[in-house]
Amino acid sequence: MIIGSISEDLSLEKRVAITPDTVKKYKTLGLDVCLKKSYASHLGISDDQYMKEGASFLETNEEIISKSDAILQLNILKDEDLNKLKQNQILVGVLNPYVNEKKIKEISSKNIKCFSLELLPRITRAQSMDILSSQANLAGYKAVVDSFAYYQKAIPMMMTAAGTISAAKVLVVGAGVAGLQAIATAKRMGAIVFATDVRLASKEQVESLGGKFLTVEGSENMETEGGYAKEASEDFKAKQEELLKETLKKIDIVICTALIPGKKAPIILKKDMIELIPSGSVIYDLAASQGGNSELTKVDQIVDNNGVKIMGEANILNKLPVSASNLYSKNMFNFINNLFDKEKKTFEINLEDEIIEKTKV
């Protein structure tokens, strides 16, 4: 059996789905790996490094798709490549089925089996495949590093003969994986950190990292069975808004990470709230690609609102593509390892396996 991967559109995506380390693991399973020439050369990884581990290279996307039993990607393929997929082939990636519903229906009707890794259930057995966690960890870290680079004051408290510099105050909106990593990174760099989330279970996690959890009075726990945040009620939103208004008056940096799977990101920082933030502060909106948590966010632009810089990128992981690819490719290998029947030496679509059943689109 052959697994293949073609180059992504580098203007949108610099990560790769297969690294030389994972080629070695696939070969151990008895799978051959077929890649497009110069597959990861933009990351400083040569074709020779892949060939040393047993990968083979072809010139065109068409050749790779034609030869492969399973295609492993980051994002859904371009239309011209989707049309080349053949019956009973497997496509695995972050297919974003809510946005690409029409495309996925078309290829599924040809009996092409699609698996979207962002739909993985949050169960213990799936942790090693959890691409949302591995990638969000890096995104939370990078958002803090980038926002600190734009903030024009020192982050930790400094006591000098000339006087004392106060520590920067950071607010993290949303304490999921990205938010918790943002809290940890900001604390390590000496900031005072506050955080808020609709899930009450986050309080203990935030406090264990040294952050102060802002609790909305009389709030209920808004967490789905799968561990994700669900949409807040209007009453909760109004109470959260009042709490944030008071907090924002003394905040230097805001990191926004609040997302609801499959839906537009909730607007948490409205324009009138942003007006309360001191001039010189920075807002980094990790939810920018899904509409943003800030009302003023514009994707891939730095908006200046009365001296407050609002930043949000379509794909922050393009700034850490090597680290992100290393983690993503391992998540992908663990998923394929679960999908591949080692005895029959074939891919087994066992819908009684919750991991396979939940990710099959």
Neighbours of 43 (CB within 10 A): 16
Sign of the CA dihedral 55, 57, 61, 62? negative
CA distance linking residue 353 with residue 162, whole number of Å: 64
Closest-CA residue to 287 (of 316, 326, 252): 316
> Does 228 participate in catalysis according to the annotation?
yes
Report how far residue 237's alpha carbon sits from residue 232's, in angstroms, rounded to the nearest whole number: 6
- DSSP line for 20-33: HHHHHHHHHHT-EE
Helix 321-339 and helix 131-150: axis angle, to 10°? 170
**Contact (CB, 8 A) for 183 and 222:** no
Task: Identify the active-site residue in 46, 47, 66, 122.
Answer: 122
Say if residues 262 and 235 touch (Cβ distance below 8 Å): no
Q: Is 353 a catalytic residue?
A: no
d(CA 246, CA 40): 48
Task: Write phi, then psi, for 91 (nearest 5 degrees).
Answer: -120, 125
Of the residues 9, 38, 98, 127, which is catalytic? Answer: 127
Annotated active-site residue in 130, 197, 252, 285: 130
Specify the amino acid at residue 101: E
Q: How far apart are CA 335 and CA 346, in angstroms?
A: 14
Catalytic residue list contains 188: no
Q: How would you class 217 by CB atoms within 10 Å of its CB: exposed for 0-12, middle for 13-18, buried for 19 or more?
A: exposed
Catalytic residue among 7, 89, 116, 133: 133
Burial grade of 221 (CB within 10 A; 0-12, 13-18, 19 or more)? exposed
Encoded amino acid at 85, one letter: L
Question: What is the set of active-site residues?
Answer: 122, 127, 130, 133, 228
